[in-house]
Amino acid sequence: MWWLAHGEHDVPAGAQWLSPREQALLAGIRYTKRHVEFLTRRYAAKRALATVLGRDGTADELARIEVRNYPGGAPYVTLDGQATAIELSLSDRAGWAVCLVGAPGTALGPLGIDLEIVEPRSRGFVEDFFTAAERDAVLALPEGEARDEAANLIWSAKEAALKVMKVGLRADTREVEVSLDGMRRADGWTSMTVTARGGAVFPGWWRRDGLFLLTIAGTARREPPALLAGGGLATAKPTHSWLSRPMR
């Protein structure tokens, strides 16, 4: 399992690295924010996939690799238009996109990744979207950085698990409960576990890089993903470039 992050500033100019299908999809996006997010997610995904598939990162090669979506939104990978069995999950936040990918040919089961930033979350947010145990744990923390980190981390872990379940935010976020009980490793990853009300368990990991919080989840406890060359979040700064031009 590997992960990779790229910022919107990494996205190549021009459309040659996109398939004709992706170019058509992009042409239909009028909001700058969605446009930039789509491009950044696709760039991170294609770079990660090219590496695990052993292909070079030329525009022509990247255009052959696509991430498409099932009707419910969950992603799948195609190569030259043919579906592959590669597991992948995507997320973006504040100008940065992350991709989690499994090795081709391994039966990892579904994966989930989510990227957030540490930002204020209201008491109402915590009360509406968190389970009683999560709410009590967050509200027991002093207001400010500690509480904001915990609230965003729990939110992110829920989203990662809901992506593993392939339901996304159509589900009630209180259907899954996050346990943050792990020890931080030297490489920055801390283990965590998400448990669904029905009993399914989604073990995962989280890390903090600057203002960014990254969570990943799967269906079994594994080693944390390795970072692919060329893109982490160590020096990433949140950007909101779309604000200066909301419509394209």
Ligand X SMILES: CC(C)(COP(=O)(O)OP(=O)(O)OC[C@H]1O[C@@H](n2cnc3c(N)ncnc32)[C@H](O)[C@@H]1OP(=O)(O)O)[C@@H](O)C(=O)NCCC(=O)NCCS
Q: Is 23 an interacting residue with respect to ligand X (CB under 6 A)?
A: no
Q: 206-245 mask for ligand X (x: CB under 6 A)?
A: ----------------------------------------
Long-range contacts of 179-185 (CB under 8 A, 24+ apart): 180/137, 180/150, 180/153, 180/154, 180/206, 185/224
- Binding span for ligand X by CB under 6 A among 56-64, 85-93, 193-201, 216-224: 85-93
Amino acid letter for position 162: L
Q: Is 7 an interacting residue with respect to ligand X (CB under 6 A)?
A: no
Find out whether 78 and 68 touch, Cβ atoms under 8 Å: yes
Q: Is 153 an interacting residue with respect to ligand X (CB under 6 A)?
A: no
Q: 158-187 mask for ligand X (x: CB under 6 A)?
A: -x--xx--xxxxx-----------------
Q: Name which position in 1, 74, 86, 213 contacts ligand X (CB under 6 A).
A: 74
Shortest CB 17 distance to ligand X, Å: 15
- Binding span for ligand X by CB under 6 A among 68-76, 118-126, 173-181, 196-204: 68-76
Both tokens assigned to 167: 């339901």
Shortest CB 109 distance to ligand X, Å: 13
Contacts of 89 (CB under 8 A, 6+ apart): 75, 99, 100, 110, 111, 112, 113, 160, 163, 164, 216
Contacts of 29 (CB under 8 A, 6+ apart): 35, 38, 248
Pick the closer one to ligand X by CB: 46 or 163.
163
Find out whether 39 and 11 touch, Cβ atoms under 8 Å: yes
- Binding span for ligand X by CB under 6 A among 66-74, 127-135, 176-184, 192-200: 66-74
Helix or strand run (H / E) with residue 67: strand 65-69
Q: 93-132 mask for ligand X (x: CB under 6 A)?
A: ---------------------x------------------
State the sign of the Cα–Cα–Cα–Cα dihedral 159, 165, 170, 176.
negative
Both tokens assigned to 150: 């915990």
Pick the closer one to ligand X by CB: 139 or 171.
171
Report DSSP state, residue 234: T
Shortest CB 67 distance to ligand X, Å: 5
Q: Where along the sequence are the contacts to ligand X (CB under 6 A)?
A: 38, 41, 67, 69, 72-75, 90-92, 114, 159, 162-163, 166-170
